[in-house]
Amino acid sequence: MSSAPFWRALLDFFLPPKCPFCGNPTDSFSPDRPCVSCLPRIKFFSSPRCPRCGIGFPSTSDQDHLCSGCLSAERPFGKARSLCPYEGLIVEIISRFKYGGVARLAKPLGILLADYQDPEFPFSEIDLLIPVPLHTRRLRQRGFNQSLLLARQVSQRRSIPLNFTALRRSRQTQPQTQLSGPERQKNVRGAFEVRTAEAVAGKRILLIDDVFTTGATVQECAKALLDAGAKRVDVLTLARVP
């Protein structure tokens, strides 16, 4: 008989697992998942929502329908989905991860992404994962690319190949958080290029990022990938700014 349960129980007794988000002890046997106190504080998107970009609508009695943004503008990506609105606990967690340098949060956040389920957004149709790249100067400042760390978790848990070198940010841009919607689009226009077209040609690609705000960044990434011959580009992010 295996002694693993005994040693696990002994370890949990002396070093009880802690919630990766709040740090409080938890009885969960999945220490890389939010505890029962934190999970309800994350509001996950559900219908009604835009079937194209995934943004949620305030009404709970309506059906899915295209949002004004998707009706008025061409979207180069196929579909985009975000787990939750960028509000409450998830803002704090992403800020600690992205700007506070707490790289260990990549695992619990990446697990949330990998666990995402939507019959209209199946992982089985994806050939390749690509994280939104950082410029080399920004990468040196931050120490890691948060999108790459998230994508690695999804790749491992969904067994989907990951390529983090095919797409590059060819010029440094201003931080998007400081800009308005039109300024964001202008800021990232032409800022991405594909290094190796053969790596993406004919592939159904899933772009991974942390936050979808106006969509300017992922749209520019999608354009570059499609111009290089990608068959389709979809987008998955942790959070969506309402």
Q: What does pTM read for this prediction?
A: 0.88
Show me where the domains of the chain are located. 1-41, 51-240
Q: Which two tokens stand for residue 216?
A: 């300017």
Secondary structure (3-state) at 194: strand
Where b means 16+ CB within 10 Å and e means fewer, 164-190 reads bebbbbeeebeebeebeeeebbebbee
- Give the class (CATH, top level) of 51-240: alpha beta
Query: Rounded to whole angstroms, how far apart are CA atoms 89 and 187?
Result: 29
For residues 223 and 189, the answer to whether their CB atoms sit within 8 Å is no
Q: What is the pLDDT along the chain (242 residues), one digit of tens a residue?
A: 455 554 545 555 556 678 899 988 876 557 788 888 898 999 999 889 999 999 988 877 778 999 998 998 889 999 999 999 999 999 999 999 999 999 999 999 999 999 999 998 999 999 999 999 998 888 888 889 999 999 999 999 999 999 999 999 887 666 656 656 666 666 677 789 999 999 999 999 999 999 998 898 999 999 999 999 999 999 999 999 98
CA 101 from chain center: how many Å?
A: 17
For residues 80 and 212, the answer to whether their CB atoms sit within 8 Å is yes
- Residue 47 has, within 13 A of its CA and on its CB side, a CA count of 9
Angle in degrees, CA 109, 191, 77, rounded to 5: 60
CA 190 from chain center: how many Å?
A: 22
